[in-house]
């Protein structure tokens, strides 16, 4: 069964939050960490995985991504801190 991931990344200073969706979280995080894609994450040095959710349905994942993106910064921080209060980089736990 295929899985999809909604994830939140931050920069080293914990000041910029990025919300994304992917079908391969390890690959996507590698791309961001190595700055292989010319996107927001490269420009703002966002490469620390601090939160993710797993879905079996891509439409549900996209819906959740939009919900999180539409929320305030305060809500995003609360989401992160509920599951990962120390803002640990979860990438090492998923590879």
Question: Rounded to an integer, what distance in angstroms lies between the CA atom of residue 41 and that of residue 18?
Answer: 7
Q: Render the chain in DSSP notation, one character per residue.
A: ---EEEEEEE-TTS--EEEEEES-HHHHHHHHHTT-S-SHHHHTT--EEEEEEEES-HHHHHHHHHHHHHS-HHHHHHHHHHH-TT---THHHH-
Host domain of residue 74: 4-94
**Each residue's pLDDT tens digit, 14-37:** 999 999 999 999 999 999 888 888
Which domain CATH number covers 78?
3.40.1440.10
**Each residue's pLDDT tens digit, 75-94:** 999 999 999 999 999 999 99
**Is the confidence at residue 43, as pLDDT, over 90?**
no
For the chain, the domain total comes to: 1
């Amino acid at each position: 069964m295929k899985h999809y991931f909604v994830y939140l990344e931050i920069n080293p200073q914990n000041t910029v939050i990025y919300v994304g969706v992917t079908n391969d979280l390890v690959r996507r995080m590698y791309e961001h960490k190595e700055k292989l894609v010319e996107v927001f994450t490269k420009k703002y040095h966002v490469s620390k995985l601090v939160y993710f959710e797993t879905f079996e349905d891509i439409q549900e994942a996209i819906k959740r991504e939009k919900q999180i993106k539409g929320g305030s910064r305060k809500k995003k921080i609360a989401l992160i801190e509920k599951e990962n209060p120390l803002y640990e980089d979860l990438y090492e736990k998923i590879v």
